[in-house]
Structure 1
């Protein structure tokens, strides 16, 4: 029998500028940015939202082991929100963050979603979605 996975604990984003990334994800997307002490006693940055975490690695100074091609701007992430995407669009406009596409219907992990797309400071594609 093949073992099964049950959840995603965290993912890692390699970023060009930590401060710019922390500012964007906390001020624009409402995540909580926090410095934490890792198991190897190093000090690192992470973004928290819900029960999830995104660890941040500075490009050129990544923690090991790392992705084979750790590159800023190579991620495509979809976040679910209970706040309507129309409210997100107004908020993003106030923040000066352009919406690249949407709202458009998409297929999420648990069914239909309505999505908008934008980019973070590194050019990662960010999808904000509402379950339909």
Structure 2
């Protein structure tokens, strides 16, 4: 088997409209689907789908729990612009900026939490 890429991930959140608003407003991710029972945003060539722990899903993780994910998204902006943008939304940093090795080499990482306490790493490559 030759894997090409990740198509989508599913984040478990407490409130889907609130999660959609956060990812759309803070990260400018276009909303693809917006319902009370599920939602989806586009992140580059991938999708981030949202579900709640109480949704009846036939195909889901064994124990979907709000706030249990850690994801890394890649920004095209310089680190200073990212920091200023997050400050304009009053989003506190969990950590960073930190130098790290990412999938594409040396990067600078900034960590925040979304409203459900999922850890979101924002990577900036040179």
Q: TM-score, normalized by length of structure 1?
A: 0.88
Deviation at 1:62, TM superposition (A): 4.5
Structure-to-structure mapping, 1:1-132, within 5 angstroms: 3-35=1-33, 44-132=38-126
- Which of these two proteins has the greater Rg computed from alpha carbons? 1
CA contact (8 A) 1:59 1:72 kept: yes
Q: How large is the Cα RMSD of the aligned pairs? A: 1.6
CA contact (8 A) 1:77 1:127 kept: yes
Secondary structure of the equivalent of 2:93?
coil
Deviation at 1:59, TM superposition (A): 2.1
Secondary structure of the equivalent of 1:86?
helix
Deviations 1:27-59 (A, max 9, x none): 11111112279xxxxx74101121110111122
Pairs aligned (count) = 125
List structure 1 runs of 4+ shifted beyond 3 angstroms.
Answer: none
Unaligned runs of 5+ in 1: 38-42
Q: TM-score, normalized by length of structure 2?
A: 0.92
